[in-house]
Structure 1
């Protein structure tokens, strides 16, 4: 007999420490939905930011979760959730809550329950929002302990090249990738990539708009090109071959840790590299993504660093690395006392 659960769905607005700019958007806060499931003894939590460019906001997420609320209370499992909800933030929040709840009930951490490697600290990128080149160079100086940086571009070719040159001059020792956020057209890629090669840039993320993937057919780049908006779910992965080199997996896009693991494993079989990213959020959102990061070549999990305040306990950033103490999320049950 399945024990009936309690369910809480909450919307929280996490303010940024300062505005953050990418191609076509400026963000000042991260509205998130937090799902909490309790079975009387154990608690599972999941946090999602949704996917802003798909209209997957807090209102859409809470509406979607309302359609499965009775099922979640009645014992719905992850496979049933996958069938009941489409990919997106709502499924991510519920999926991660179920992972943590099941881990506590089984008495093992989520990584072991999911068949993932025992987690270790990972090198992560730290992101510089698109700004004046001098401001971005100053920001790069501010990330004194970072060993990997990601620069947001806007699609303004000359200005973007100036941004990259300014940051590279300031931090010649760092791994640097750039994220174009769909800002360019195919005819602009050759001069952009030539400048990126000159600056020793290691990765170009999502240069073209979603839907223009075929424009990359036959295009040869000396820098790996990563798919972000072009690869939302597992169904998108096979179509990346021959066009992209890397797939950027985000739990909010694909709808949770369950599908994220499947994407990583499928990408490997296709010869693609794997990256984990985030839509910004607190440590509760980064923790399951950090577990996925154990399978990845590139890790971009700096979301909490943009927030005015984070969860306590929270993710630890030290010497350019990200680490997640077990107490943050996904731990085994520490005792058999009733959840509060």
Structure 2
């Protein structure tokens, strides 16, 4: 039996951040998400995408337009909603970013649609979102049997010095840190100075990575990677130069500094190419960037097959569904090098979701979401920041040109 599927509402959320967040390519003073509500056989699902032009090429306007012009009757007849494993299998076989964007994939828009679909499907069956992972036998090798709390990273951005951020932690909490992700400055040499300050505060046992957000030119990226490895014992460098500059990334890898891909790795094709060219050792998986939970899981599977390690990351300022879905994945992956959880408790003084973000800042741990579905609904504090969209042309779609493929291209 197929399902009845209807989009009940599309809204944008632009919420001011209590404290800005800055990196080499962008400074965030407010968040920007597209929130989708749909009805699957009368059960409501809530989804989120976080379009970032510097990540996937999508704009908030473009993602909204793609969702507004999407006809849910395309999917409804395909989803056997009464059969949970089969329904998950159908959704796993679809390439939603290309269904919505054609030859210019729209993963953030797809993430909004997929997270809403999976939330509704799980709620229809009274299941937590982690049940989706259990319904993917092709991913069994990368999954642990049960969800568990994860130790989370501390991300030091450019709005504060390392000393300002790390010394603000209680001594006991600072001593429990296991991984620092440091945002890079425009200058590799000044970035090394920041990295050395982290080492001076925390010592050599804490893992340290540096994220340049693709902001360094190739010569600076190669020089910076070498200096960071030699002087600050950096464990890996994330997206050191422009996305998909495979030659530069390979040279950095070959010089002895492990490379983590972020903007360069949006799908399994990117992971495959990175491994084939020797351009990376690690991949940062983010739900919105990758198009949803199921494409993210598929990337984790492919990365393991190719010998690449995985980090589960976040977009800055995720409202709710995205961080809950990402945490669901992180809680079940058998092996991860790092997990990010965001700082919604710091950025938004009033919780935007019910229940709110749960994280133990003293011990740097985050519990798995309880469900049903992703377990969240909008809180009253979010309402004032929502803007309802109107059907029709809301402006140009801005996406990074990428080669398209059939939207049913995956094998389950």
Q: Please tell me the TM-score bracket, short chain as reference.
A: 0.7 to 0.9
Q: Tell me which of 296, 299, 307 is aligned to 1:271.
A: 307
Structure 1 position 264, deviation (Å): 0.4
Aligned to 2:192: 161
Aligned to 1:58: 60
Distance in 2 of aligned mates of 1:84 and 1:301: 29
For residues 246-285 of structure 1, the aligned pairs below 5 Å read: 246-280=282-316, 281-285=318-322
Distance 1:159 1:192, change over 3 A: same
**Cα contact 2:36–2:47 (8 A) shared by 1:** yes
Distance in 1 of aligned mates of 2:230 and 2:74: 50
Structure 1: give runs of 5+ residues left out of the alignment. 333-340
Distance in 1 of aligned mates of 2:133 and 2:210: 31
Structure 1 position 148, deviation (Å): 2.3
Distance in 1 of aligned mates of 2:347 and 2:372: 17
Q: Secondary structure, in 3 states, of the residue corresponding to 1:114?
A: helix
Distance in 1 of aligned mates of 2:224 and 2:120: 50
For residues 112-123 of structure 1, the aligned pairs below 5 Å read: 112-115=131-134, 116-117=143-144, 118-123=146-151
Structure 1 position 62, deviation (Å): 0.6
For residues 254-333 of structure 1, the aligned pairs below 5 Å read: 254-280=290-316, 281-293=318-330, 294-295=332-333, 296-305=336-345, 307-308=347-348, 309-310=350-351, 311-318=353-360, 319-327=363-371, 330-331=374-375
**Cα contact 2:4–2:40 (8 A) shared by 1:** yes
**Cα contact 1:64–1:90 (8 A) shared by 2:** yes
Q: Tell me which of 207, 211, 232 is aligned to 2:266.
A: 232
String of CA shifts for 1:112-171, please: whole Å, max 9, x gaps. 222254221111112111257xx2221122244343221110231221111111122122
String of CA shifts for 1:244-290, please: whole Å, max 9, x gaps. 00011112122111111101001100011011111121232111111
Alignment size in residue pairs: 330
For residues 50-129 of structure 1, the aligned pairs below 5 Å read: 50-53=51-54, 54-71=56-73, 74=76, 77=79, 78=91, 79-80=93-94, 82=96, 84-85=99-100, 86-115=105-134, 116-117=143-144, 118-129=146-157
Structure 1 position 103, deviation (Å): 1.0
Aligned to 1:338: none
Aligned to 1:336: none
Moved more, 163-172 or 252-261: 163-172
Distance in 1 of aligned mates of 2:311 and 2:269: 17
Distance in 2 of aligned mates of 1:194 and 1:243: 19
Distance in 2 of aligned mates of 1:21 and 1:80: 35
Distance 1:249 1:273, change over 3 A: same
Q: TM-score, normalised by structure 2?
A: 0.73
Structure 1 position 43, deviation (Å): 2.1
Distance in 2 of aligned mates of 1:99 and 1:278: 19
Aligned to 1:142: 168
Q: TM-score, normalised by structure 1?
A: 0.88
Distance 1:196 1:299, change over 3 A: same
Q: Secondary structure, in 3 states, of the residue corresponding to 2:193?
A: helix
Distance 1:228 1:306, change over 3 A: farther
Distance in 1 of aligned mates of 2:57 and 2:345: 24
Distance 1:209 1:328, change over 3 A: farther
Q: Secondary structure, in 3 states, of the residue corresponding to 1:64?
A: helix
Distance in 2 of aligned mates of 1:88 and 1:9: 16
Aligned to 1:203: 236
Distance 1:184 1:305, change over 3 A: farther
